[in-house]
Amino acid sequence: MSRGHFNKKKGSSGLNITSMMDMMTIILLFLLKSFSADGSVLTNADNLQLPNSVSNKRPEELPLQVAVTQDAVIVDNQPVMVTETLWKMDQDEFDEDTTSQLDLTLKAKMEQQLELLRIGALKEVNGEIIVQLDKNMNFDVMYKVMRVCGRQGFVNMKFAVMMREQ
């Protein structure tokens, strides 16, 4: 066997992976750029069934969340009070003087937002809150939650719903 057998032919080069790496990088960047978190932006509480809707508007920014399940009232994933306690409160005694644990928690959250505004971390306090209610929840409970939110300064209320398949 001659020694020339093992040598490569002149002018022939091996596999050039530089252009393939460039192409894979472009594809990766395209996929990362087009990826969106279309999954649940809100964290649903356990055993919470949201009502269905044809609306497909998603919140741009995630404000304070209040979830009301059959068992508990949850503010930012922290249980605050038992739903039955809120439900049993009489409408007559549920006036401006009533302070429930939900009142105290929302008041503290508003004070936090005002403090962030004061030090310049927030541009404005818009009083935005997302309310998640179980679809089988009593209307009185919803009304009381809305009153507490409004009385503590969270007047821009949005309700979370599940998008219905069309």
- Domains: count for the chain: 2
pTM beyond 0.75: the answer is no
**Residues 90 and 150 grouped into a single domain:** yes
- Residue range of the domain that includes 60: 52-163
**Residues 77 and 30 grouped into a single domain:** no
What is the maximal distance between C-alpha atoms in the chain? 106
**Residues 136 and 72 grouped into a single domain:** yes
pLDDT (tens digit, 9 = 90+) per residue, 119-150?
887 788 888 888 888 878 888 888 888 888 88
Residue 11 maps to a domain: yes
**Residues 29 and 73 grouped into a single domain:** no
CA gap 157, 155 in Å, rounded: 6
**Residues 113 and 68 grouped into a single domain:** yes
Instruction: Report whether pLDDT(159) > 60.
Output: yes
**Residues 68 and 109 grouped into a single domain:** yes
What does the CA dihedral 27, 31, 34, 35 come to, rounded to 10 degrees?
A: -170
Contact between 68 and 47 under an 8 Å Cβ cutoff? The reply is no
Residue 148 maps to a domain: yes
**Residues 151 and 104 grouped into a single domain:** yes
